[in-house]
Amino acid sequence: MPELMYREALNQALAEEMERDANVFLIGEEVGRYNGAFKVSQGLLDRFGSARIIDAPISELGFAGMSAGAAMVGLRPVVEMMTWNFAILAMDQIVNNAAKLRHMSGGQLRCPIVFRGPGGAGGRLSSQHSQALEANYAHFPGLKVIAPATPADAKGLLKSAIRDENPVIMFEGERLYAVKGEVPEGEHIVPIGKADVKREGTDVTLITWSRMYYFCMEAAEALAKEGISVEVLDLRTLRPLDEEAILASVRKTNRAVICEEGWALAGIGASVVDLIQSKAFDDLDAPVARVTGLDVNMSYAANLENATQPDAPKIIAAVKKVLYREGA
């Protein structure tokens, strides 16, 4: 199986879907002549032309709204946000129009549109470019929210998102674009709403998504050397949550730790805790623990940026806490 970078897997998904369906087009800042801020759209302008690979001015609210209109009349826009931090400007069009068109039209209008781009810490880009904002969008009915960690999942989920009849928000870890992994060629679809057990275990479940997946896998491998068997559940989709997969894993291990890059207050992890404790409380042998970003704005300095985010040592400490092991 070919090994691709995360950005190459996304590029492949876009190209395949544009070949399959002439109604699919890509719009965003620098997606055309510059090949994308993170090179996700590399070569697509030459292949599909300027009518389908559209360079937009710096006007997130404008091109998000225009694309929602295009989706209403039968096209399938893919809107690239240079970063989800900038997409805050477009939230009115995303949550007040795209998310509500089907409901407010009594089902007469569809809005098959994908809003995608990088989120999370950018690597010394400070507070305005380093926010993990997925919880903001997962809050709204009418939106689906996905956050793949691996290149294979990035390709499969983007293809599913483009084919979906509803607006889909796709968070791509900003520091994942150069990550490599095996990616199936051709038709590779990952269904929206399905989590994936990336590592089987029996002692505790680590629940995560996007870039934090790699820290969880690092922690699981370290803990295995101490005789602790960790199951790693990659949610992949944040709305709707795969409740069945979460509960099945927790009922198997009886302990859970949730790791997310975003802040703790009103985070995705808080909803997962609520789910576990409302539907699997009798299966728990310890309170559910969370490892989150610290409740501060991100700093420029690399040492401070690292200090504010989850990492393997913090996850290991949380696992030992729910296992009532030393150092907890």
The candidate with the shortest Cα–Cα distance to 101, out of 139, 75, 69, is 69
Token pair for 108 = 């007469």
Residues serving a catalytic function are 60, 129
Neighbouring C-alpha atoms within 13 Å toward the C-beta of 33: 3
Alpha carbon distance 150, 213 (integer Å): 9
Cβ atoms of 235 and 242 within 8 Å: the answer is yes
Write out the DSSP string of 223-246: HHTTT--EEEEE--EEES--HHHH
Nearest to residue 141, comparing CAs of 96, 184, 108? Answer: 96
- Residues facing residue 65 across a β-bridge: none
- Taking each continuous run of H as one helix and of E as one strand, the counts in the chain are 12, 14
Hey, what are 56's tokens?
Answer: 């937009």
Task: Write the CB contacts of 274 (distance below 8 Å, at least 6 apart in sequence).
Answer: none
Residue 99 backbone dihedrals phi, psi, to 5 degrees: -70, -20
Pairing outcome for strands 237-239 and 144-146: antiparallel
Chain position carrying tokens 């809107």:
79
Question: Residue 159 half-sphere exposure, CB side, CA atoms within 13 Å?
Answer: 23
Task: Find out whether 250 and 280 touch, Cβ atoms under 8 Å.
Answer: yes
| DSSP code string of 187-219 | -----TT--EEEE--SSEEEEE-TTHHHHHHHH
d(CA 55, CA 132): 25
The DSSP bridge partners found for residue 53 are: 26
